[in-house]
Structure 1
Amino acid sequence: MTPFQEFDAQLEDWNALSASTPCSGLLLGNGASMAVWHDFYYESLFEKTKSIAEKPLSQTELSVFEALSTRNFEQVLSALKTASKVNKALAINSASPRKRYYAIKEALINSMQDVHIPWRLMQPETLTCWNTELARYATVYCSNYDLLTPWALMQAPKNFNDLFDTATATFELNTALTKSKATRVLYLHGALHLVKNQEGKARKLTGSQPTLLSNFAINHSISALDDVPLFISESSSDDKRKSIRQCDYLSFCHEQLMAHKDALCVFGHSLGEQDQHLIDALRQAPLKTLCVSIYPRSEAFVRFQKNHYAALFADKNLTLRFYNAKTHPLGYPQHSVPLEV
């Protein structure tokens, strides 16, 4: 590994780099979302649900997270769903799991609406740019669970294949393996418009662009709906691996990342400790070149970031190329939407 002090602060221009080194895949991180809406910068959705003004998590709800040793909402909601069904099967007269399910889901809904950019503030030019840029790749691996990518895809959906193009909008492995010229979009951690049933089967919520966020905000009856939100909001990398293994769709997405060949573009992704499962997938993939975006905050920051990424792949026969995030179409400053006061 190159010592920290030997890295310079120079960053390549994305246009020149992409012309000389075409990338067949794009790994999208939260930096892409933050380039549009700064409120996507938050350390913990779990912490926000504890402090949200409207109906935050109570100590009773928090005890469920503690009992399961997780901060992952999908795991907790799934467990409460199972508990409710078991109670019903055994004729146990307890509404506590159902009530906790509703309360946690409501806190999650309120928190997401608090941090997510409203549809009415989305700029058409940004959605068009995202749609055009994502379509340049054979596969887009999105680790974000917000709705920016789904909204962008809906601008011209025929250019994309999100693997939910079935009559019931569910993920089917045999359909997913069918070759297509359209850009595949894989949500590595799920997304707000995806849900999972009790058997781990993934399904996409349908709707128009303006209603997609509000669809997530419907707290359905637990007796009438077998689905829970499918997105891994946070937790340790090992915890994320557990959630991924329990869902056929997420497992498939990660297997595809592990098999990616040639060159991969990474945009807005820190590849930090919480992303060790993604780092391991990249290390296992037969990649030749990794083109990584770095935001030019300062020369010291650029050197630090180069050192960080180089350390992750120091023992791999992999070429690392570093480019200025602001020169990539997804990082153009004009995409940034001012926060409402």
Structure 2
Amino acid sequence: MVITPDVQPWPSISAADTFKTLLVGNGLSINIWPSFNYSSLFRQTPLPESAKAIFTAIDSTNFEEAMRRLAEARAITEAADKDASWIDPLYTTIRDQLFLAVQQVHITWNDLPDITKNAIGMHLCTYESVFTTNYDLILYWARMHVEDRHNAKTADLMWGLGGTFDRHSDLWPGWTGIYYLHGGLHLWRSRSTGTVGKWQHQGINILEQVANGYDATTDRQPLFVSEGTSVDKLRAIQTSEYLSIVTRKLFDDTKDTVVFGSALSASDTHIVEALAAGASRRIAISVCVDGQSTEQIVQLKADMHAKFPRHTLLFFDSATHPLGDPVLRAAKQ
């Protein structure tokens, strides 16, 4: 098969209207609020010198890459029968600081334009299932906006008492399911019971609740999967009933799928395996054309064909998709 650097505009792919599943990565969030990129998060994070030294050594500001390298270092050190006890505290520090950094650089509700919330929320409603690996609140706020303004029918299965996950609930016909594969800022897990829930508006906005709601002594802890390797992420997912169930939903989904803003890198191999499972179908994958050479685009397409050999792949310019429209970007930075 000859792979060319050509990508299509989204409207030419979507005309058939067969795509009922959407997987969203952080490309969406970065398009709207560039402060979500790793270099910005790194600048905002008060890392100790020992952690900064890891980033310097790997010449990267990517938190997941730093954790991946530490996980590899742990495995090699233990295989050599050497003391690896210094690695885990460093790994935990970097993971926890990533959570805090996302919270600290987060756009506010008021700075996220209504036109952006509306465009995202209404587009989500064109799918039956929406899966996301993002931690931020943009999709959540977009849902809230269109539910309030347009009575849009979306659900995250947090229908239990106090906004907790109800494993026995399911979607009503015509509703869009929203599933947070790696948790999120608005989600918490009880340390004592394992119950998962979402912060609810109680006169305090969610970002303030998150900032004030967690410490080492509270029962509620962040539901936030940010481990550096796919194996470690999957291990963390398996400790949560909610995360395990929504991951299984992705495995079981066989509808034509749009992948937007996700590189599907090695640290997300569990996501790739879930997408690759099941019957052959069409998978449309966004490509950020701006700033990439033709060689890079060809390599990206080749990598995706290797990951999904049984499926029909289509590639589109992310800027031509409703979620990648440059007009969605918030003005205040």
Measure the CA separation in 2 of the matches of 1:308 and 1:30: 19
Q: Does 1:154 align with 2:144?
A: yes
Distance 1:261 1:220, change over 3 A: closer
Measure the CA separation in 1 of the matches of 2:40 and 2:227: 7
Measure the CA separation in 1 of the matches of 2:235 and 2:288: 32
Measure the CA separation in 1 of the matches of 2:88 and 2:99: 22
**What TM-score, normalized to structure 2?**
0.80
Residue in 2 aligned with 1:313? 308
Residue correspondence of structure 1 range 49-128 to structure 2 within 5 A: 51-52=45-46, 56-57=47-48, 66-67=87-88, 70-71=91-92, 110-128=100-118
**Letter matched to residue 35 of structure 1:** N
Residue in 1 aligned with 2:282? 289
Question: Secondary structure of the equivalent of 1:228?
Answer: strand
Residue in 1 aligned with 2:199? 205
Measure the CA separation in 1 of the matches of 2:226 and 2:303: 24
Residue in 1 aligned with 2:38? 42
Residue in 1 aligned with 2:123? 133
Residue in 2 aligned with 1:84? none
Residue in 2 aligned with 1:15? 11
| Shift of residue 200, structure 1, vs aligned partner | 2.4
Residue in 2 aligned with 1:90? none
Query: Is residue 118–residue 145 contact of structure 2 (8 Å, CA) maintained in 1?
Result: yes
| Shift of residue 212, structure 1, vs aligned partner | 1.6
Residue in 2 aligned with 1:165? 159
Question: Secondary structure of the equivalent of 1:262?
Answer: coil
Residue in 2 aligned with 1:324? 317
Question: Secondary structure of the equivalent of 1:196?
Answer: strand
Query: Is residue 145–residue 191 contact of structure 1 (8 Å, CA) maintained in 2?
Result: yes
Residue in 1 aligned with 2:80? none
Structure 1 residues 207-216 or 152-161, which shifts more?
Answer: 207-216
Equivalent of residue 299 in structure 1, options 294, 302, 318: 294
Measure the CA separation in 1 of the matches of 2:133 and 2:85: 26
| Shift of residue 248, structure 1, vs aligned partner | 0.4
Query: Is residue 73–residue 233 contact of structure 1 (8 Å, CA) maintained in 2?
Result: no
Query: Is residue 23–residue 257 contact of structure 2 (8 Å, CA) maintained in 1?
Result: yes
Distance 1:337 1:252, change over 3 A: same
**What TM-score, normalized to structure 1?**
0.78
Aligned residues: 295
Question: Secondary structure of the equivalent of 2:104?
Answer: helix
RMSD value over aligned CA atoms?
2.8
Structure 1 residues 242-251 or 152-161, which shifts more?
Answer: 152-161
Residue in 1 aligned with 2:81? none
Measure the CA separation in 2 of the matches of 1:296 and 1:209: 42
Unaligned runs of 5+ in 1: 75-103
